[in-house]
């Protein structure tokens, strides 16, 4: 039997710029592409329903891409070490290849897999593919860890010339999938057998909103660069327009790599074009993703613990009534509720609105940021643990390089500034469609006759807290821990 190479896919569901796959394609062995759903590994057990929906469709798209090469994607549901042990023992496997992950749990799990394979006498290799740079690469002048974003990203920009995505090799003929031999631990299954799709069909709007897979990610990037990139700095804050690339989920599941995004941007605009305010601002968002991964790699407690220790004594009120109203988009604050309803129906929320709803939860409702992060993790298709947690700590004021706690977003003035016509609010809250733009972000400030006419308090709730009073309560609580 000819020797075999396993390419183990995780959150890297693409062909282009995929070091593990490309290395495997170039090897003389038979190729066995696999995906293992192991619910004992945190990356899977903590995955929210929206992300599971995306993963199902991403796996389907990736399988079709591999089929065009003559390969199949073998899906397994079971314990990673047992799956690999069976494959190694029955298929003359000489090496296992995969791409690295950097969240603490996955990083440690993959190291255990490497040691396990070494014990079986099988070579293993992992490759950098998820970020622009390895999390330990970017250091300050004294060799320490960057804890402020701007100097971190400035340092990254010095090395952009080094970024070279790997092109998928031209094949003279299709690569053939070999017949797979399995032993007693036979957990080979279909993608559908993973049970990633919801049993209750709450995902109908997902299918209308998203085009999943590597091909669609590439098309989405090209469209953004051709039509929106130069206006990004202005349009990214307007939730009623599609002014962003909306590639966060594709990046999270590895349908496209950040290196491909940088290369495509440089090819489109040239090195001088990268100084364009819109383009530079867009690339800095990739930088924030990079910064988040960098910090989570160095501070493994980030998901559970405020990095500013005084916030561990913060007097959170954690009202379950307030939390449920926020989750359902029924707080009576239109800009907040519109964002939460967009999230529930599409698995995504505009970034400006994410900041508004997060600030309202932790500062006006006094609910612990960890409960907000947990809800986002379950509800977002792009729920990257590093970006999600770091962003929540930023809003709460308890992380590194965080927004000061006393910076409290006013959802009314934010709505009036970034949704002046009320288009975004009325799209997601049809109960408010008849309200003039003067009142759409603060209908409770109109006279009682108008409120009754609009059904305020019946069709749509009145605010569950007074914005001014709740702001002061939050500021007083902050003073108590300083």
Write out the residue limits of the CATH 1.25.40.80 domain(s) in the chain: 131-164+203-298
Assign 126 to helix, strand or coil. Answer: strand
The angle formed by the CA atoms of residues 374, 56 and 132, to the nearest 5 degrees, is 70
> Of 285, 375, 428, 439, which is the active-site residue?
285
326 is catalytic: no
> Of 8, 54, 98, 288, which is the active-site residue?
288
8 is catalytic: no
Q: Could you tell me which residues come within 8 angstroms of residue 116 by beta carbon, excluding any fewer than 6 positions away? A: 81, 84, 85
Write out the residue limits of the CATH 3.40.50.620 domain(s) in the chain: 1-129
Q: pTM score, two decimals?
A: 0.95
285 is catalytic: yes
What is the distance, to the nearest Å, from the Cα of residue 403 to the centroid of all Cα atoms in its chain?
21
351 is catalytic: yes
CB 471 within 8 A of CB 464: no
> Of 348, 369, 375, 454, which is the active-site residue?
369
CATH class of 1-129: alpha beta
Q: Which of 467, 466, 478, 318 is nearest to 397 (CA)?
A: 478
> Of 43, 60, 316, 374, which is the active-site residue?
316
Q: Which of 400, 302, 324, 398 is nearest to 359 (CA)?
A: 398
Pick the CATH number of 131-164+203-298 from 1.25.40.80, 3.55.40.20, 3.30.2420.10, 1.10.540.10: 1.25.40.80
The arrangement of strands across the sheet holding 123-127 comes to: 123-127, 93-99, 4-9, 30-37, 74-77, 188-189
The CATH code for residues 309-481 is 1.10.579.10
Q: Could you tell me which residues come within 8 angstroms of residue 252 by beta carbon, excluding any fewer than 6 positions away? A: 11, 51, 382, 383, 384
- Tell me the pLDDT of the chain (482 aa) as tens digits: 688 999 999 999 999 999 999 999 988 888 999 999 998 887 777 899 999 999 999 999 999 999 999 899 999 999 999 999 999 988 999 999 999 999 888 888 899 999 999 999 999 999 999 999 999 899 998 999 999 999 999 999 999 989 999 999 887 666 767 778 887 777 999 999 999 998 888 888 999 999 999 999 999 999 999 999 999 999 999 999 999 999 999 999 999 999 999 999 999 999 888 899 999 999 999 999 999 999 999 999 999 999 999 999 999 999 999 999 999 999 999 999 999 999 999 999 999 999 999 999 999 999 999 999 999 999 999 999 999 999 999 999 998 777 788 889 999 999 999 999 999 999 999 999 999 999 999 999 999 999 999 988 899 999 999 999 999 999 999 999 88
Write out the residue limits of the CATH 1.10.579.10 domain(s) in the chain: 309-481
CB 304 within 8 A of CB 370: yes
18 is catalytic: no
How many CB atoms sit inside 10 A of residue 148's CB?
11
36 bridge partner residues: 76
> Of 37, 54, 375, 392, which is the active-site residue?
392
**Looking at residue 177, what DSSP letter applies?**
B
């Amino acid at each position: 039997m000819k020797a075999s190479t396993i390419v183990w896919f995780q959150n890297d569901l693409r062909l282009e710029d995929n070091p593990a796959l490309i290395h495997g394609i170039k090897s003389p062995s038979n190729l066995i592409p696999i995906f293992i759903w192991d619910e004992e590994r945190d990356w899977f057990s903590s995955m929210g329903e929206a992300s599971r929906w995306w993963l199902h469709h991403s796996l389907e798209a990736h399988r079709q891409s591999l089929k065009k090469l003559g390969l199949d994607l073998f899906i397994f549901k079971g314990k990673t070490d047992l799956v690999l042990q069976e494959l190694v023992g029955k298929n003359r496997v000489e090496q296992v290849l995969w791409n690295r992950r950097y969240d603490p749990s996955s990083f440690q799990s993959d190291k255990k897999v490497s040691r396990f394979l070494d014990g079986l006498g099988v070579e293993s290799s992992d490759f950098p593919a998820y970020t622009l740079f390895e999390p330990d690469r970017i250091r300050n002048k004294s060799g320490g860890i960057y804890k402020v974003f701007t100097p971190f990203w400035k340092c990254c920009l010095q090395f952009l010339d080094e970024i070279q995505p790997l092109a998928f090799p031209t094949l003279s003929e299709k690569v053939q999938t070999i017949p797979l031999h399995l032993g007693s631990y036979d957990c080979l299954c279909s993608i559908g057998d993973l049970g990633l799709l919801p049993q209750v069909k709450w995902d109908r709007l997902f299918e209308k909103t998203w085009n999943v897979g590597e091909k669609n990610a590439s098309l989405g990037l090209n469209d953004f660069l051709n039509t929106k990139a130069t206006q990004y700095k202005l349009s990214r804050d307007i939730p009623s327009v599609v002014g962003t690339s909306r590639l966060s989920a594709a990046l999270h599941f590895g349908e496209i790599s950040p290196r491909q995004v940088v290369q495509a941007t440089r090819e489109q605009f040239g090195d001088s074009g990268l100084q364009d305010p819109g383009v530079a601002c867009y690339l800095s968002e990739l930088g924030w993703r990079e910064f988040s991964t960098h910090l989570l790699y160095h501070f493994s407690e980030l998901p559970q613990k405020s990095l500013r220790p005084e916030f561990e004594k913060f007097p959170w009120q954690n009202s379950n009534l307030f939390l449920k109203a926020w989750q359902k988009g029924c707080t009576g604050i239109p800009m907040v509720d519109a964002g939460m309803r967009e999230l529930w129906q599409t698995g995504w929320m505009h970034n400006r609105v994410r900041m508004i709803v997060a600030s309202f939860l932790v500062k006006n409702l006094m609910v612990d940021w960890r409960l907000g992060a947990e809800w986002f993790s379950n509800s977002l298709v792009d729920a990257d643990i590093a970006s999600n947690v770091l962003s929540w700590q930023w809003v709460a004021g308890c992380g590194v390089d965080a927004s000061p706690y006393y910076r409290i977003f006013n959802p009314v003035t934010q709505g009036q500034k970034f949704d002046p016509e009320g288009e975004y609010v009325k799209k997601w809250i049809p109960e408010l469609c008849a309200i003039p733009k003067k009142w759409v972000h603060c209908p409770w400030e109109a006279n009682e006759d108008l409120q009754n006419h609009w059904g305020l308090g019946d069709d749509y709730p009145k605010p569950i807290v007074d914005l001014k009073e709740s702001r002061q309560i939050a500021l007083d609580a902050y003073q108590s821990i300083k």
